[in-house]
Amino acid sequence: MVIVTDAGRAVKALPARNRIVLSGLAPVTSTGIVQKSPCRADTHVSPMFRPGTQLTRLFTLATLAALAVGCASTGAVPQPFPRPGGPTASPTTPPPPGAPPPTPAGDGYAIAGTALGLRGAPYRNGGSDPSGFDCSGFVWYVFGQHGIRVARTVTEQFREGAEVGADTIEPGDLLFFATQGSSASHVGMAIGGDEFVHAPSSRGEVRVERLSAPYWASRYVGARRMR
């Protein structure tokens, strides 16, 4: 047992190694902390608390363990790790007002797919349904299945849509040919690569042809995009 008076005098001798005095605090002994008044600064530090000692390391580990328990009990998440459901990236900048809406990807392929599904349908002059098609009735019907209205005759269709260069033709574009005279008189639909599908009268059914074939290449007069 160690007793310290208010003036800081020890009633019973206390070995220096068992006494800890921190600057600005009351003496600390193995039996606890005993207040003294007035408080005075003391520069003496027990060797047990000097840096590198085993007791100092144990004290540091105990402090870290207490902090870890605090995080676990409160559910705190160390920063800067993201929290589930936390802030997300800022949205993409919207297009400027007045900009045309983007064309949905694959529209041309879907339209061309509908046209290809009609291969083998019979040719019928003036026809515009699967029981029989002429060339303009064929493309009129196909576009109608996708909610796109186009004119009914070749001459009118050749004036609609946007002009397309021969090197930028895409599936779903209309290809026009001058089979009678010098103006457009026949129409087909591009399906990709060098091919197109149409309803010619010569062989009596909807079929696929090559644009590079001499007959069609020599009569080609342009392409139009309706979507």
CATH 3.90.1720.10 domain position(s) in the chain? 107-225
Is 198 annotated as catalytic?
A: yes
CATH 3.40.190.10 correct for 107-225? no
Q: Tell me how far apart the alpha carbons of residues 26 and 11 are, in angstroms, rounded to a whole number.
A: 16
pLDDT for res 81: 37
Q: Tell me how far apart the alpha carbons of residues 189 and 195 are, in angstroms, rounded to a whole number.
A: 9
Quick one: 140 exposed, middle or buried, by C-beta within 10 A (0-12, 13-18, 19+)? buried
CB 199 within 8 A of CB 135: yes
User: How does pLDDT run across 13-71, given as a tens digit for each residue?
Assistant: 445 454 444 444 444 444 444 444 444 444 444 555 455 555 556 555 555 555 444 44
Q: Which of 217, 223, 112, 115 lies closest to 167, judged by CA?
A: 223
pLDDT for res 52: 54
Q: Tell me how far apart the alpha carbons of residues 186 and 205 are, in angstroms, rounded to a whole number.
A: 15
Q: Tell me how far apart the alpha carbons of residues 116 and 191 are, in angstroms, rounded to a whole number.
A: 8
From 39, 44, 135, 146, active-site residue: 135
User: How does pLDDT run across 162-214, given as a tens digit for each residue?
Assistant: 999 999 999 999 999 999 989 999 999 999 999 999 999 977 899 999 999 99
Is 186 annotated as catalytic?
A: yes
Task: Report yes or no on whether pTM surpasses 0.85.
Answer: no
Tokens linked to 205? 């059914």
pLDDT for res 129: 97
